[in-house]
Chains A and B, each alone.
Chain A
Amino acid sequence: MTIGRFRFMDRQRVNLDGFAEPDPALGMIAFNSPNDPEPSLIVENGRVIEMDSKLEFEFDIIDHFIARHGLDLEVAAEAMTMDPLHFAHMLVDPRAPRSEIIRLAAGMTPAKLAQCLTLLRPAELVMAMTKCRARRTPSNQAHVTNRSDDPLLLAADAATAAAFGFREIETTVPVLEDAPSNAIAVSIGAAVGSPGVLVQCSVEESVELEMGMRGLVSYAETVSLYGTEQIFIDGDDTPWSKAFLTSAYASRGIKMRVTSGGGAEALMGAAEGCSMFYLESRCVALARAVGAQGVQNGGIDSASVAGSVPGGVKSLMAENLMVMVRNLEACTGNDALMSESDVRRTSRTHPIFIAGSDFICSGFGSIQRYDNMFGPSQWNSEDIDDYLAMQRDWGVDGGLRTARETDVEELRRTAVEVVSDVYRLLGLASFSAEWQEQAVDAAGSKDVPAADLMTPLQASRLIRDTNITMLDVVRALDESGHETIAQRLLDLLKARLNGDYLQTAAIFDEDMSVLSLVTDPNDYAGPGTGYVPTPLRQLQIDSIRQVRSVADLRSDQAQARSTRLTEGLVAERGIGSRDVVIGVSPATARDIWRTLGGLMVTEALDELLAGLEEEGCQGRIVRFHDTVDLGLIGLKAARLAGSGIGIGLQAKGTALIHRHDLPPLGNLELYSVAPSLGRAEYRALGLNAGRHAKGANPEPARNPYSDEAIEARYHTSVVSLMAVERECSDLTAPPITLHLERS
């Protein structure tokens, strides 16, 4: 049996997540497993003969490769004897330069660097990350995939992702054979959206390399490293094959990074009893040793494994930091969805988001969750507006920008048209007009029933059989009149020649300039230094499409103008005990016509008058001009009323009942939540005012209840409405009577 409070708590989404008892034997521990080795390094004649408490003959393949290639033995003695706390202090202290940290970390073994970084608290991780990432300008990467490998939808969605500011796009396939078609469609779509967006297609290692060689993709990422020998071999590679692969990409001028992530070894059942953080430290040291320029880590597919143990989410961020400290490009996870809870997934991303990284997400699902062939992401298309609002809230550059609906529609239409033309010209496929229209409009593949599932497969076979390269695509683009897009894709091929984008953390800006560790180095050294968005970029961050001004509100209100209310004479004090005055605010029936609850002000007045009439009272409408304060409006109305009872109504809908002898704030009844007030509430208020006037017992008024964020939704409108009220107010103008033409 459970009690109601716990039945209720059990139903919350966070309780769909798995939470594990730490179990070092299974590797289900974030930091400091009892089996993690003590840091050590013994070098004899330039050869490592002991590393992290293992003698050379005990080394596995990972140890061997790190020992032979991964360590700067000239600083090793200094680095290995350094007090870990001192190094941890350097990481946080803005006066300790990044270059010094990089120099020392190069001489640290995996166990040593893990030991140092384990000492950092979350806020210290944020400080260290702010300083240690390679590139000054932060960026972001999107997933663009769909269930049907629909080339038109892929292109439209890639263009959309580029419009929202993503500088790298990762696609993949549910059907391996579709890979070449997907790579071409996404590359074209991305180029429609913006110049210089890099595109990869995540598939098996040699297939991916081959596509790179043919120019069908412009970078690679899915080159996986693991922290134990068993899992490495299960992944069908060795550090030497990976090192060769890394050089193979560079030999064709293609950017690549490797992938790892804490919890992977535990998930695959061979963690050798070590902590996730220590094993990841081995991966990152190996990434540096094989000569990769960067690492995608932070759990990735095993993020939820790390998230299930104490300190696991912190370890995900610490492993991103470790990549930065090893002087590599950090593509910082926030990729596979690690929790069913919106609160937990935001909490997991947020410190990295505010610190900034080379790529905040290594796969923001820019498409529908159901279309994400990597599985749902930590952030998905439904979160784009949230993410943009978060950027604006914190004044932080998270790599995204607002895109206008009309622009996105045009880009999607162009992307669909261009891909259709290229596929037709290359003889790959033809697309029906219905399919094209659906792809332009679609929020996801479910909106494209006209898509033919065989098309990408047939197109891919033709691409393979006829050996189509990106040069052929460029030619087809040019021939079909899409010269700008042809030029953009040709520029990406040309960029392979000078090799600048092989350097650490390289991306292209929209002018095709390379931003990297070399050309755009992070120079954070405390407040007032480091990356600051340009004024233009800051404007992009600040100007989200939902922003509303007082002018917008005025024009909305003007559309609700009514002729039912007309101005009469200066209002006099009434006589008769059934005379009740409804005092309205200065902007009523001038600039404000609609309440926050969506009623016409005239409709609210109809109900108030009807309520009064039901109680046998006469309502008079009087507009006051010398105050915008509802308490005063109500009190002044009461003082004009023969009954001594007044109703105060602000044009935005807030209303109260007042009596002539009470202090301004001491009203009889108040409906304060204007957005929740409908006809029934105004009728009830009118009735009660009538009863007060007669000296009868009123029904207790209840403000309608809502659990929605009413204030968040309406406070900006309130500010604008009050500004309008104030502009309409005039201290010297007398109250005037308003006549309502009855409906």
Chain B
Amino acid sequence: MTLGISGRSAENITLEAVRSGDIRPEDIRIHPDTLVQQAEVARAHANPQLAANLLRAAELTRLDDHRVLEIYEALRPNRSTSAQLLAITDELVAQGAVLTAELVREALEIYEQRSLLA
């Protein structure tokens, strides 16, 4: 049985439930555990990079839409200072998003080398 991030089961997402205003956006958002399982499937099908992506995705389920969009914006070239990217790393670690934090930390390292910081 598949659960959404809200804990609601996919089986309960019916037209009747929508009709009665019972379905919220979180009910149709993927659960991190599902992404972790899909990462295993990707690994078993010879794509460890897709697996790594899905594991980062599992972490990002914890962030709200707005913050996800903001962090994406911050990672674009010449947007952020070193301190700003470091702060994001800390924030991600605090949320348990260690893989994503590592990605941002690595971006910072390379952006410094390639002069892509603000």
Show the binding face of A for B, using Cβ within 8 Å: 60-61, 64-65, 68-70, 72, 99, 102-103, 106, 205-206, 209-210, 213, 215, 229, 233, 236-238, 240-241, 243-253, 288-293, 327-328, 469, 471, 474-475, 478-479, 483, 486-487, 490, 493-494, 496-500, 502-504, 517-518
CA distance A244 to B48 in the complex (A): 16
Contact of A469 among B25, B46, B71, B111 (CB under 8 A): B25
| Residue in chain B with minimal CB distance to A212 | B65
Question: Counting CB contacts under 8 A, is B100 at the interface?
Answer: yes
Given contacts A494-B10, A498-B10, contact A251 B57 (CB under 8 A): yes
User: Could you tell me if A240 and B31 are in contact, using CB atoms closer than 8 angstroms?
Assistant: no
Given contacts A244-B100, A253-B30, A474-B18, contact A238 B116 (CB under 8 A): yes
| Residue in chain B with minimal CB distance to A215 | B28
Known A-B contacts: A229-B114, A243-B103, A250-B35. Give 5 more (CB < 8 A): A233-B116, A247-B57, A248-B68, A250-B57, A289-B49
User: Could you tell me if B49 and A252 are in contact, using CB atoms closer than 8 angstroms?
Assistant: no
User: Could you tell me if A244 and B19 are in contact, using CB atoms closer than 8 angstroms?
Assistant: no
Question: Counting CB contacts under 8 A, is B2 at the interface?
Answer: yes
Q: How far, in Å, is A121 (CB) from chain B's closest CB?
A: 27
User: Could you tell me if A240 and B75 are in contact, using CB atoms closer than 8 angstroms?
Assistant: yes
A103 contact set on B, CB distance < 8 A: 46
CA distance A229 to B53 in the complex (A): 22
B116 contact set on A, CB distance < 8 A: 61, 233, 238
CA distance A250 to B110 in the complex (A): 25
User: Could you tell me if B18 and A475 are in contact, using CB atoms closer than 8 angstroms?
Assistant: yes
A64 contact set on B, CB distance < 8 A: 110
User: Could you tell me if B107 and A504 are in contact, using CB atoms closer than 8 angstroms?
Assistant: no
Q: List 15 A-B contacts (CB under 8 A).
A: A65-B110, A69-B49, A72-B48, A215-B25, A233-B116, A237-B77, A238-B76, A241-B77, A244-B75, A288-B47, A471-B28, A496-B30, A497-B34, A502-B38, A503-B38
Q: How far, in Å, is B20 (CB) from chain A's closest CB?
A: 10
Question: Counting CB contacts under 8 A, is B94 at the interface?
Answer: no
| Residue in chain B with minimal CB distance to A207 | B69
User: Could you tell me if B72 and A248 are in contact, using CB atoms closer than 8 angstroms?
Assistant: yes
A328 contact set on B, CB distance < 8 A: 47
Most buried by B among A72, A252, A291: A291
Show the binding face of B for A, using Cβ within 8 Å: 2-4, 10, 13-15, 18-19, 21, 23, 25, 28-31, 34-35, 37-38, 41-42, 45-54, 56-61, 63, 65, 68-69, 71-73, 75-77, 100, 103-104, 106-107, 110-111, 114, 116
CA distance A70 to B47 in the complex (A): 10
CA distance A680 to B48 in the complex (A): 76
User: Could you tell me if A497 and B110 are in contact, using CB atoms closer than 8 angstroms?
Assistant: no
User: Could you tell me if B103 and A233 are in contact, using CB atoms closer than 8 angstroms?
Assistant: no
Chief secondary structure at chain A's binding surface: helix
User: Could you tell me if B15 and A478 are in contact, using CB atoms closer than 8 angstroms?
Assistant: yes
B50 contact set on A, CB distance < 8 A: 291-293, 503-504
B47 contact set on A, CB distance < 8 A: 288, 293, 327-328, 504
Given contacts A291-B53, A493-B28, contact A209 B15 (CB under 8 A): no
Which 8 A-B residue pairings sit nearest by Cβ, starting from the closest?
A: A291-B53, A250-B57, A251-B60, A253-B30, A240-B107, A241-B75, A247-B56, A251-B57
CA distance A493 to B2 in the complex (A): 13
Contact of B2 among A236, A238, A469, A498 (CB under 8 A): A498
A-B residue pair count with CB separations less than 8 angstroms: 186
User: Could you tell me if A251 and B13 are in contact, using CB atoms closer than 8 angstroms?
Assistant: no
CA distance A469 to B85 in the complex (A): 31
A475 contact set on B, CB distance < 8 A: 18-19, 21
Contact of B58 among A237, A251, A497 (CB under 8 A): A251
User: Could you tell me if A247 and B53 are in contact, using CB atoms closer than 8 angstroms?
Assistant: yes
CA distance A106 to B43 in the complex (A): 13
CA distance A215 to B65 in the complex (A): 12
B63 contact set on A, CB distance < 8 A: 251
B68 contact set on A, CB distance < 8 A: 209, 213, 248, 251
| Residue in chain B with minimal CB distance to A502 | B38
CA distance A60 to B100 in the complex (A): 21
A65 contact set on B, CB distance < 8 A: 110
Given contacts A64-B110, A241-B75, contact A494 B65 (CB under 8 A): no
A478 contact set on B, CB distance < 8 A: 15, 18-19
User: Could you tell me if B4 and A327 are in contact, using CB atoms closer than 8 angstroms?
Assistant: no
User: Could you tell me if B18 and A206 are in contact, using CB atoms closer than 8 angstroms?
Assistant: no
A213 contact set on B, CB distance < 8 A: 65, 68
User: Could you tell me if A503 and B72 are in contact, using CB atoms closer than 8 angstroms?
Assistant: no
Contact of A69 among B41, B52, B58, B71 (CB under 8 A): B52
B52 contact set on A, CB distance < 8 A: 69, 291
Most buried by B among A72, A475, A479: A475
B54 contact set on A, CB distance < 8 A: 247, 250, 291, 499, 502
Q: How far, in Å, is A188 (CB) from chain B's closest CB?
A: 15
User: Could you tell me if B45 and A517 are in contact, using CB atoms closer than 8 angstroms?
Assistant: yes
B111 contact set on A, CB distance < 8 A: 238, 240
Q: How far, in Å, is B105 (CB) from chain A's closest CB?
A: 10
User: Could you tell me if B25 and A237 are in contact, using CB atoms closer than 8 angstroms?
Assistant: no
User: Could you tell me if B76 and A237 are in contact, using CB atoms closer than 8 angstroms?
Assistant: yes
| Residue in chain A with minimal CB distance to B52 | A291
User: Could you tell me if B38 and A236 are in contact, using CB atoms closer than 8 angstroms?
Assistant: no
User: Could you tell me if B45 and A504 are in contact, using CB atoms closer than 8 angstroms?
Assistant: yes
User: Could you tell me if A240 and B103 are in contact, using CB atoms closer than 8 angstroms?
Assistant: yes
Contact of B49 among A61, A290, A500 (CB under 8 A): A290
A498 contact set on B, CB distance < 8 A: 2, 10, 34
A290 contact set on B, CB distance < 8 A: 49, 53
Q: How far, in Å, is B15 (CB) from chain A's closest CB?
A: 5
User: Could you tell me if A490 and B18 are in contact, using CB atoms closer than 8 angstroms?
Assistant: yes
Contact of B69 among A99, A210, A250, A499 (CB under 8 A): A210
A60 contact set on B, CB distance < 8 A: 114
A243 contact set on B, CB distance < 8 A: 53, 56, 103
A61 contact set on B, CB distance < 8 A: 110, 114, 116
Given contacts A61-B114, A240-B106, contact A245 B35 (CB under 8 A): no
B34 contact set on A, CB distance < 8 A: 497-499
User: Could you tell me if B18 and A291 are in contact, using CB atoms closer than 8 angstroms?
Assistant: no
| Residue in chain B with minimal CB distance to A483 | B15
